[in-house]
Structure 1
Amino acid sequence: MATARIPSHLRKLVVHNITNKFRDAVKTVSVQIPQLGPTDLLVKTRFVGINASDINYTAGKYDPKKKPPFDAGFEGVGVVVDMGDACKGFSLGQPVGYMKYGSFADYVVLSAKTVFPLPEAKAEYVPCLVSGLTAAVSLDKVGEIKSGETVLVTAAAGGTGQFAVQLAKNAGCHVIGTCSTDDKVEFLKSIGCDRPVNYKKENLNEVLKKEYPRGIDVVYESVGGEMFNIALGRLALHGRLIVIGFISGYETDLGFIPTNLSTLPQRILPKSASVRGFFLFHHYQHFKKHFQNMISLISAGNLKSIVDNGRHWPTGPFRGLDSVPNAVDYLYSGKSVGKIVVEFPDEEQSKL
């Protein structure tokens, strides 16, 4: 069964060249929409999310054995427009969220068991996917945060940082957040951050040393390089440093900024501290519980999901598949606040 006006072909971004320069890596191609299996859904894209790791993926950092061509994009929100005969519990027009390699496309085919049903097809639900789940699952399962602890969130005004700040606050923690502008300081205050630090105006290491002499219990670290070194040095007894990324190096040839870790054992052993890596797609079993919790928190007004559609960027706001490379450029400009989302206009609604 299907709704009317499903095209025979879809458009998508395909990686043809291994490079961290997203615009040079991808091409737009048109392919026939595949035939659905009995438990497949065909979803029309309404919004896609932009992630720092989009350029890691095009650079082959996630799977060096993967050779072009392969599809780009990690996440989206859309509506079901067709489904296989064995799909249960879904209806045509139903809004869903999804995480799938190849989400930069105007239609996607998804296994029904992998999608997240949504109340509406809204941009505000996109950040709950890769960004929100990374924060929610890692803080809970890897960071093991507890009420009363002090949590440091780096890149706190970004897509995932905004969730780490708020979820840590909701757990009863004192939260420090780093950012790069005074506007972002105000943004962090608006979402409950106790101590925003504009690292371009304040020396983060000195702030932590003077104001938090006991140290930091949990660090949610996504920057790498010197930021990682500072956070590591300020861990408290039994401190946990979660590495969820190292964005400061993503645009380099290596994909990271080399860090001298030869003294790591000597730095963490006296504190019984630990450094813990987190890669979201190793934690599928926790997705639905944490996703549903975030949706409930948003509905109750206890969690803000802030979206940036590029309205202050020269080529924004971002609309349609062809604007995705501009949105990736915007992310690396350092000017965005919250999660960058690209809208795929609903042609039927626009004609009404």
Structure 2
Amino acid sequence: MSSLRLLRSGARAIGGADALSGVHSAARRSIIDMSYSAHFMDFKGSSIPSTMRKLVVTTLSPNFREAVRAQTAAVPTPGDADLLVRNRFVGINASDINYSSGRYDPSVKPPFDAGFEGIGEVVGLGLSASSRHTVGDTVAYFGTGGAFAEYTVVPAKESVPVPAARPEFLTLPVSGATAYIALKRLGELAKGQTVLVTAAAGGTGQFAVQFAKRAGCHVIGTCSSDEKAGFLKSIGCDRPINYAAEDLAKTLRKEYPKGVDVVYESVGGGVMEVAVNSLANKGRLIVIGFISGYQSQSGIPPFRGDTLPVKLLQKSASMRGFFLPHFLSDYGEALSSMMQMFAEGKLVCEVDRGDLAPEGRFVGLESVFRAVDYMYAGKNVGKVVVEVAPPSASSSKL
């Protein structure tokens, strides 16, 4: 089964509003146009146009700008169990390049729609979907494909009700859930242990730092600038390491001679080699990605692994892979817990909207291209998000 189909199945396990226990949603509004037997559309209140812009993968390539084109298409009509969502924000993920290069599902051939996750307002819905949703609801979604568009049709069962169209909520369905579940299920964290998080100031790294700290661990985080090091300190990281100014391997050997108990690793290549060498006895290294290789033709960074079995054996250590679709039974509890923490002010959900990018904030669908480049240049602090529509355009006139 493809990763996207698995993600779709996982979204059904969210439990809808149950996943947001303790978080109060905005008041729901009634559907005002019941003139269609199969679907309801808030044409007057939401000013739904006949066409929209969307990003389409037209050729397979790890070069996002080469693979993807902006196109004009008809605004889709939701089916019986679907929602039509006007996207307010969409999330940028490292795996957008894996998707555009055809690595996730080789059976899918271009053209196909790009984008994994978004958040916005329901402006139309099918008859069955109206049993749990109504026009004016705000939902987040992921894994359906086609998020990089002004409007997206989302199966109602795959949506997550959220209190408001805030970009912070977009950090949780993929980036936050990956850190939460990976550390809980594979990290086996215990108070007093040492945890190393690579790319710690990124979209998922920021959550790994916070969850490890909440577990009572000493947290080390790698980053590429003093600005990011400052951010890591602000969210509880005990020892930020700016690898642009410090030698990561030497620093770990000097300051942590007994090694680290858990590594949350997303960079790959040489960084993973250092991480393996830095494991303590019975240490666990969790592989959640290897972004340093995604832009290559193979998608895999070089790794000198000839001695890996020996190194793991000598330390009774382990290397564990984590792929979110394989842990869907944990998803609902993870999302509910994170939403509660955020509502109580106990979880930082940092978003980077491109305010410091050369051309400014990421606004409009075409700025997705800039946002992908920005993330791969390592400029972001937190989750990279693009504002597809301004607030005035995403608010119903009801």
- Equivalent in 42, 45, 68 of residue 26 of structure 1: 68
Q: 2: CA distance between counterparts of 1:216 and 1:107? A: 46
The code of the aligned residue for 2:291 comes to I
- Decide which of 197, 222, 230 is 2:241's aligned counterpart: 197
2:260–2:279 Cα contact (<8 Å) kept? yes
Residue identity matched to 2:139 = V
Residue 341 of structure 1 corresponds to: 385
Which whole-Å CA distance do the structure 2 matches of 1:349 and 1:74 have between them? Answer: 20
Q: Which residue of 1 aligns with 2:33?
A: none
Counterpart residue identity of residue 3, structure 1: D
- 1:61 partner letter: R
Give, as a single letter, the amino acid of the residue that structure 2 aligns with 1:37.
G
Q: Secondary structure at the match of 2:97?
A: helix
Contact 2:87 / 2:151 at 8 angstroms: preserved in 1? Answer: yes
Cα deviation, residue 349, structure 1: 6.0
How does 1:81-230 map onto structure 2 within 5 Å? 81-87=123-129, 88-99=131-142, 100-230=144-274
AA matched with 2:113: D
Q: How many residues get paired?
A: 352
In the superposition, relative to structure 1, how do residues 141 and 10 fare at CA in structure 2: closer, same or farther (>3 Å)? Answer: farther
Q: Say which SS state the counterpart of residue 128 (structure 2) adopts.
A: coil
Deviations 1:221-280 (A, max 9, x none): 011111000101111122111111111122222222221212111111122211111122
Per the alignment, residue 321 of structure 2 pairs with 277
Deviations 1:45-92 (A, max 9, x none): 010011111112111222233221111111111111111111222222
Q: Residues 144-169 of structure 1, C-alpha deviation per residue, up to 9 Å, x if partnerless?
A: 22222211000001111111101111
Higher mean displacement: 283-292 or 295-304: 283-292
Which stretches in structure 1 are left out of the alignment for 5+ residues? none
Deviation string 1:2-24 (CA, Å, 9 cap, x unpaired) is 22222233321110111111111
**Which residue number in structure 1 is paired with residue 34 of structure 2?**
none
1:291 maps to: 335
What RMSD in Å do the two structures reach over aligned CA positions?
A: 1.7
Change over 3 Å in CA distance of 1:114–1:323 after alignment to 2: same
CA distance in 1, matches of 2:138, 2:307: 50
Tell me the SS of whatever aligns to 1:321: coil
Q: Which residue of 2 aligns with 1:327?
A: 371
> Is contact 2:91–2:116 with CA below 8 Å preserved after alignment?
yes
Q: Distance in 1 between matches of 2:351 and 2:128?
A: 35
Question: What's 2:25 paired with?
Answer: none
Deviates further, 294-303 or 275-284: 275-284
Q: Which amino acid aligns with 1:6?
A: I
**What CA distance in whole angstroms lies between the structure 1 residues aligned with 2:84 and 2:395?**
21
